[in-house]
Amino acid sequence: MNIPMLDLKAEYALLRDEIEPAVCDALAACQYIGGPNVKAFEAEAAAYAGVKHAIACASGTDALLIALRAIGLGPGDEVITTPFTFVATASTVVMCGAKPVFVDIDPRSFNLDLDQVEAAITPATRAIVPVHLFGQPVHLAPLKALCEKHGLKLIEDAAQSFGADYAGRKSGAYGDIGCTSFYPSKNLSAFGDGGLMITDNDQLAAELRVLASHGSRVRYHHHVLGYNSRLDEIQAVILRVKLRHLDNFNNRRRAIADSYGKQLAGLVETPFADGNGRHVYHQYTILSDRRDLIQKVLTESGIACAVYYPVPLHKQEMFAPTHGSASLPVTERIAQRCLSLPISPMLKDDQIKRITGAIRQALT
């Protein structure tokens, strides 16, 4: 039997009896946009995250774009972020007409190297966008201190870390705005696209709502350029069910990571949990000089694995004209040595053994 990266079929089998009747009710209620489940999900997500406001939107990418627009980002502005992330973290900065400034990463946590951030701040810097990569919370206190010192906004990209904790707060709740994604592979996932913005700031919350709704405060009156970015009712129904399982699922991911760590010790470099918060293992990512060999052997054994991310953002064709000459050696080296193994709350202990056994075989 093949082992997938993420076993959505097993998850569906587990949740089917909760999800299907709820979806059928919503189908029959015919309030497909702006219905009661979207409002209820926003309230439940805000309560879960411990924030005053949660605003649903169409994707994690939209959440980032709308958050950046809400803080007034525009041409001539700069945003400091990581080059080791999914493209949307930085493409949304460009969509606002602003420029991403990439700072190298810490070789163990894979998150922004906090010692290099301040040197990247210029008079044009408006915000810092840390990514809690693979579910590991960034140490935000020093970033917040920098933001306060230099008058910047802190926008968390929590697309991979919903449910993680940092300093007694849920991931995304510590900065000015937290953005997350419900893409089907994320820790809290819909059966399609979806996203969420969370904040404690009343004024920013109002701005986020206006921008997500065609720049309109009063229907058919548009004072600012906005977007059509909505979570639909059916996805909200599914997310309400799955939110109730999120902590259990994240706990299982942590237990799987623990088993992997024990079984892979001494074979490869296992993920470093820096202890700054509660890691929720969106990915379980190992490092090895023999990465390509491991990948080949796993693939031949019917075990999925993936390189997140093979090309750092400053080397992507879309950013190369402006950033191609940048040297971010830690990121470039990690991109050559990283490999993410299957992880899903549904992964079984015997599957973990099979995966680590195949890696042991590849390396010995």
Ligand X SMILES: *Cc1c(COP(=O)(O)O)cnc(C)c1O
| Shortest distance, position 170 Cβ to ligand X, whole Å | 17
Q: Which is nearer to ligand X, 61 or 199 (CB)?
A: 61
Q: Which is nearer to ligand X, 64 or 117 (CB)?
A: 64
Q: Where are the beta strands (DSSP E) in the chain?
A: 53-57, 78-81, 99-102, 125-129, 153-157, 165-166, 169-170, 177-181, 195-199, 216-218, 221-222, 277-278, 284-287, 338-341
- The residue at minimum Cβ distance from ligand X is 60
Which residue do the tokens 């799955």 mark?
242
Measured distance CA(279)–CA(165) in Å, rounded:
7
Q: Report the C-alpha gap between 256 and 261 in whole angstroms.
A: 8
The least distance separating ligand X from the CB of residue 286, rounded to whole angstroms, comes to 19
CB of 174 to ligand X, least distance (A): 16
Angle between helices 291-300 and 349-363 (to 10 degrees): 130
Angle at CA of residue 243, ends 240 and 209, nearest 5°: 65
Rounded Cα distance between 146 and 150, Å, is 6
CA dihedral of residues 50, 56, 59, 65 (deg, nearest 10): -80
- For residue 61, the minimal CB distance to ligand X (Å) is 3
Regarding beta strands 338-341 and 284-287, do their DSSP bridges make them parallel or antiparallel, or are they unpaired? antiparallel
Instruction: Tell the smallest beta-carbon distance from residue 104 to ligand X (Å).
Output: 17
Q: Which amino acid is at 222?
A: H
Supply 75's token pair: 């041409």
AA identity, residue 296: K
Task: Look up residue 257 and give its amino acid.
Answer: A
Q: Would you say 60 or 342 has its CB closer to ligand X?
A: 60
| Shortest separation between residue 333's beta carbon and ligand X, angstroms | 20
Please identify, using beta-carbon distances, which residue of 343 and 359 lies nearer to ligand X: 343
Residues at the interface with ligand X (CB under 6 A): 59-61, 85-86, 88-89, 131, 157, 159-160, 181, 183, 193, 195
Task: Report the nearest approach of ligand X to the CB of residue 187 (Å).
Answer: 10
Name which of 64 and 339 has its Cβ closer to ligand X: 64
Residues in contact with 206: Cβ distance below 8 Å, sequence separation at least 6, in sequence order: none
| Nearest-approach distance from CB 264 to ligand X, in angstroms | 24
DSSP string of 138-149, one letter each residue:
P-HHHHHHHHHH
